[in-house]
Amino acid sequence: MIVIATGLTDGMLLFLVASGLTLILGVMGVVNFSHGGFFMIGAYLGYEFLRGRAVSTWLFLLLIIAASAATAVVGLAAERVLFRRLYRLPEVTSLLGTYALLLILEGVAQLIWGQNPVTQPEPNGLVRVFTLASAQIPRYDLLVVGAGVVTVAGLQLLIKRTEFGRQLTAVAEDRFMAGLLGVNVNWVFAATFALGIFLAGLGGTLAGPTLSMVPDIAVTFILQSFAIVIVGGFGSVLGSLIAALALGLLHAYLVTYVPSLADFSLYLLMAAVLVVRPQGLLGSTALLRETR
């Protein structure tokens, strides 16, 4: 039970970051290597908003949402200044541009918060553990898993049941035709990017109490997020969820029972899935045909 709880918690944190990356890549077609930088900014802003102290659960939730929204504002500024110049450029150019932004974000974090690790305590109401099948599981894990479940349900409702979701799908399929039909493509891009960065910031704020925050966490989480997007299938939110949970559970199992292989969990998952389904778990084979 401890392995399952740990795996689900880690997987949901990865999903929150990867879901935003999936939206940006699937709709805008931009390889956003700076996504991990916004995760890091969200973690540090959560630390600033909470002032590094333990607070009540409701105040914690309110402040992490505020910190995630502030991260989205930073992302919107980056979208206006940088990303709008990358939409029609080759993927290699967008990769280099967003990697440069990642380095800038890391440098800004070092100037403001330094290189020494900082930590954020868990909220007062979630410090204790509860017992399930003789296993003691932190209550904070329930909050993280619950946030992931709400995010999955919210994204599915947004994409499937709202006008914005229909516009988002149309732009993802053919932005030129969507523009001819009256869809404001630039607005859809900006809203999608803001939502994706909000999710990255939310993942960062929720991860704050579970790790030591240093600027280098940006690179760690972006590599894992890209792997989840690839394994889950480009543009598939549900695919990213399945891949993130699979990676979290696999890593937790290997850490507990086969620690010598724990560092290779990401590569083992990618190899196992992509050998059988090169397009990812829920990806389309159309992308593979287009790249041949």
Distance CA 216, CA 232 (A): 25
Q: pLDDT tens, 85-132?
A: 887 777 788 888 899 999 999 999 999 998 888 888 888 887 777 777
> What Cα–Cα distance (Å) separates residue 292 from each residue in 127, 176, 286, 288?
52, 23, 10, 7
Query: Are 280 and 274 in contact, with CB atoms under 8 Å apart?
Result: yes
- Residue matched to tokens 């979701």: 165
The model's pTM is: 0.90
Question: Positive or negative, the Cα torsion across 110, 45, 190, 91?
Answer: positive
287 closest CA partner among 246, 244, 247, 239: 239
Residue type, 99: Y
Q: pLDDT tens, 40-66?
A: 999 999 999 988 888 888 999 999 999
* Residue 278 CB coordination number (10 Å): 12
Q: What is the pLDDT of residue 200?
A: 93
Q: What is the pLDDT of residue 291?
A: 36
Least confident of 72-81, 125-134, 226-235, 265-274: 125-134
